[in-house]
Chain A
Amino acid sequence: MMYLQLFWSFVQIGLLSFGGGYAALPLIQMQVVTEHQWLTLQEFADVLTISQMTPGPIAINAASFVGTRLLGIPGAVIATIGTVLPSLVIVLTLAWFYFRYRNLSAMQGALYGLRPAVVALIASAGLSILFLALFGSSSLPQSLDAVSWPAMALFILGYVIMRKRKVNPIVMILGTGILVVILTMAGLPIQQL
């Protein structure tokens, strides 16, 4: 039963993530954190971190990671197959139509409406990761005491640097990680507990 649920969750992720890149992010979060609670938000953030540092698409990485945690290697294989199965069917069908009729207008129409929405959904997923780091929870805090101001400062600094000059994401992620470890060891804890 668990295999089926895992498989079906990742089929939905593969089926509904349009636009590439981070598009799968809100869907993975919805399936894995919100609906099935297979990972906590912190663990999801960790998967994302690992995923950013390693080759491979986020959706496949998440499928392998979550699958392994739940059901070992068979789980990883099942979840990964689930993720790519919709691609296999849809891409081959589209290719068949395309090479016959040279027309993708319905699909591109759907993308026209989806692209802006996907930006918003990724923004929301990104904000929940940020809020977790700043407030220790995925929503806005009730009081300002819950805010980690050093983390806020670090985020703003990182964001400004990233916007000004395109730093390699891995350098940015490792940089903030190592900086926080050094500051914590020097007696300046960043994380709100």
Chain B
Amino acid sequence: MNAKHNHLYRTLFLQTFTLSAFTIGGGYVIVPLMRKAFVEKLEWIEEQEMLDMIAIAQSAPGVIAVNTSILVGYKVAKIKGALITLLGTILPPLILLTLLSYVYEAIRDNAIVQTLFYGMSIGVAVVILDAVSSMAKAVLSQKKLLPVVLMIGAFLATTILKIHIVFIILFCAAVGIISTLVVKKANS
């Protein structure tokens, strides 16, 4: 019994650790890979259940890859499982970025490194604003007034009015909840 459990915990840890260590590109890349590992390969989780878990992970705040791994761990081995998969997911970036932080301190005053980082920051701006363009397009393509108003309103609120983003987030969440409840009531 104990040996079997230890094997389970080890597999949970190793699966999430390797996925986290070698997947570049954030939640939208790592979540499908987790599905592959736990639904198709290990067959520990059923397809529909995995989809529900991904929906929960996306509804909750925080990092989607972390949220999904917590759910996978919980599903397989309760709280202990959740803590193990959480650890497996956060350890690789924690170790790597701690090391890189020291390296960065050591080399950032070098002129070529500075120029390289400067040039790469242009590329980072391209990548982020490309993602923003796709997301904004998705909001506009819903052809609904409220999301568009919230998007433009939030942009003006943060850039021109300099309103604290915590207030913007809480306000828009409240508007979303209220409008969903109103629509639900109207439908029923």
Alpha-carbon distance A105/B185, docked complex (angstroms): 12
**Residue among B25, B102, B121 having the largest count of chain A Cβ atoms under 10 Å:** B121
Closest to A179 in B: B119
Chain A: which residue is nearest B91 at the CB level? Answer: A80
Let me know if B32 is at the binding interface, CB within 8 A: no
**Residues A180 and B28 in contact, CB atoms below 8 Å apart:** no
* Residue in chain A with minimal CB distance to B49: A99
Within 8 A of A (CB), among B60-95: 60-67, 70-71, 74, 79, 82, 86, 90, 92-94
B177 adjacent to A110 (CB under 8 Å): yes
Question: Which residue of chain B lies nearest to A175 when distances are taken between CB atoms in the complex?
Answer: B123
Q: How many angstroms from the CA of A84 to the CA of B61 in the assembled complex?
A: 10
Q: Is A146 an interface residue (CB 8 A)?
A: no
In Å, the complex CA distance between A4 and B105 comes to: 24
A80: chain B residues at CB < 8 Å are: 90, 94
Q: Given A48-B124, A64-B98, A117-B172, A55–B22 Cβ distance below 8 Å?
A: yes
- Cβ B26 vs Cβ A120 within 8 A: no
**In the complex the two chains form, is B97's CB within 8 Å of A95's CB?**
no
State the majority secondary structure of interface residues on A. Answer: helix
Beyond A87-B67, A113-B174, A155-B122, is A121–B117 a contact (Cβ under 8 Å)? no
| Structural contact, B66 and A92, CB atoms closer than 8 A | no
Total interface residues on B, CB under 8 Å, equals: 93
Highest count of chain A CB atoms <10 Å: which of B57, B116, B129, B178: B129
Q: Which of A14, A30, A50 contacts B62 (CB under 8 A)?
A: A14
- Contact pattern, A 158-185, Cβ under 8 Å of B = 1, otherwise 0: 1100110000011011111111110010
| B180 near A87: Cβ-Cβ < 8 Å | no
- A residues near B (Cβ < 8 Å) are 12, 14-22, 24-27, 30, 45-46, 48-61, 64-65, 67-69, 73, 76-77, 80, 83-84, 86-88, 90-92, 94-95, 98, 104-127, 129-130, 132-133, 151, 154-155, 158-159, 162-163, 169-170, 172-181, 184, 190-191
Sample of 18 more A-B contacts, CB < 8 Å, known A109-B179, A114-B176: A15-B62, A16-B61, A20-B28, A30-B164, A56-B20, A57-B93, A58-B26, A65-B97, A88-B82, A95-B53, A95-B56, A113-B172, A116-B147, A127-B129, A129-B121, A129-B125, A130-B129, A172-B123
Q: Which B residues have a C-beta under 8 Å from some C-beta of A?
A: 20-28, 52-53, 55-67, 70-71, 74, 79, 82, 86, 90, 92-94, 96-98, 100-102, 104-105, 108, 112, 115-133, 135-136, 139, 146-148, 150-155, 158-159, 164-166, 168-169, 172-181, 184
Please provide the 4 A-B residue pairs with the shortest distance between their CB atoms, ordered closest to farther. Answer: A113-B176, A56-B93, A180-B119, A109-B180
